[in-house]
Structure 1
């Protein structure tokens, strides 16, 4: 099984730090799971223009292939102006919705106000629902205050939620894989 962590931004580093922490927990506690990080900052991804995803080339094709090859995800985004990043939305637009179907998603966000955690509930969960993905019950929101000046997570409660999220996504993915039949959702 392959877990893909997505740092859905092309600026800043806090989101990547949180996504990497979740991946580290999975790697440490579940060595049987392949773990990969997709940092959108490292790719020159084209804007989605509605064409068939198989016709994209270069970095855009690479990113689509990386996302579609994963079995489950940790999706991370900073919150800008009360919303997910354009880079993450573009990624969701590029990947065919069926490639997320019946896959587990764990949600992570970072932001500068304590109210921005609601973006996970009001934007990311509905997107996952549209994809018919399974969302882990817990999530992780890290405020700027949860980091030290070196951008290291220092808040014990956030670190505990990271640990819990890592276990939830693995538990859900293994439970889904253990069933012989995937649900036929129309």
Structure 2
């Protein structure tokens, strides 16, 4: 199972990358997956070249392929002018229109003030909804004063658990009882018996005798 993390932080060290790492750790605490981190600042030149030439350089092509092949995605951006960064938007503008369809995506953002906390709902969520991704209910915004606070740790833990839940393959239990037909009778669970119906009265009598 593959978890891809896209971080659009520009500095080193970066609070955006720190939030991405903490969201990754929270997810992997519930799920056995292979993480891959894509630092967009390392791909800035390639992204610009793709817009000009129409062809992605090798490193950018590998990053786009990784996002398309992921079982789950964490996408974190710094806030600029009350929205996601231009580098973040440019990268996802290059994603194939069907690459994120139905893919669980955990959103995160960082900023200097809590006044921008709704950026995840007003900017990020509409973007990934447009890409037909399965955007998780909990998005995490971290302002400068949030680091070290219990509330941020709780949001990160909840968001990681949600992503792990949606990435995990559905587990269907083996039926222990025969399936009911639409008429209320019970049919055999063994194909070799031809699914012969059992009269309701007979089944009811058997249940009373148990």
Tell me whether the two structures share a fold, i.e. TM-score over 0.5.
Answer: yes
SS of 1:109's partner is strand
1:50 is displaced (CA, Å) by: 7.9
TM-score scaled to structure 1, two decimals? 0.82
Contact 2:46–2:57, Cα closer than 8 Å, also in 1: no
1:62 is displaced (CA, Å) by: 2.4
Structure having greater relative contact order (Cα 8 Å, sep ≥ 6): 1
Instruction: List gaps (5 residues or longer) in structure 2.
Output: 173-210
Question: Structure 1 residues 127 and 157 mapped into 2: Cα distance closer, same or farther (>3 Å)?
Answer: same
1:45 is displaced (CA, Å) by: 2.8
Counterpart for residue 75 of structure 1: 75
Question: Following superposition of structure 1 onto structure 2, how do residues 160-171 of structure 1 map, counting pairs within 5 Å?
Answer: 160-171=154-165
Contact 1:98–1:131, Cα closer than 8 Å, also in 2: yes
1:126 is displaced (CA, Å) by: 0.8
1-side partners of 2:5 and 2:150: how far apart?
21
Contact 1:10–1:87, Cα closer than 8 Å, also in 2: no
2-side partners of 1:82 and 1:34: how far apart?
33
Deviation digits for residues 73-102 of structure 1, max 9, x if unmatched?
111011011110111101111111200111
Larger gyration radius, structure 1 or structure 2: 2
Contact 1:6–1:39, Cα closer than 8 Å, also in 2: yes
2-side partners of 1:95 and 1:10: how far apart?
21
SS of 2:83's partner is coil
Counterpart for residue 135 of structure 1: 135
Counterpart for residue 151 of structure 1: none
Question: Structure 1 residues 28 and 179 mapped into 2: Cα distance closer, same or farther (>3 Å)?
Answer: closer
2-side partners of 1:129 and 1:67: how far apart?
16
TM-score scaled to structure 2, two decimals? 0.74
For the pair 1:158 / 2:147, whether they are aligned, the reply is no
1-side partners of 2:79 and 2:30: how far apart?
29
Query: Alpha carbon RMSD of aligned pairs, Å?
Result: 2.1
1-side partners of 2:120 and 2:171: how far apart?
28
SS of 2:10's partner is coil
2-side partners of 1:45 and 1:155: how far apart?
37
Instruction: List gaps (5 residues or longer) in structure 1.
Output: 148-153, 181-186
SS of 1:45's partner is helix
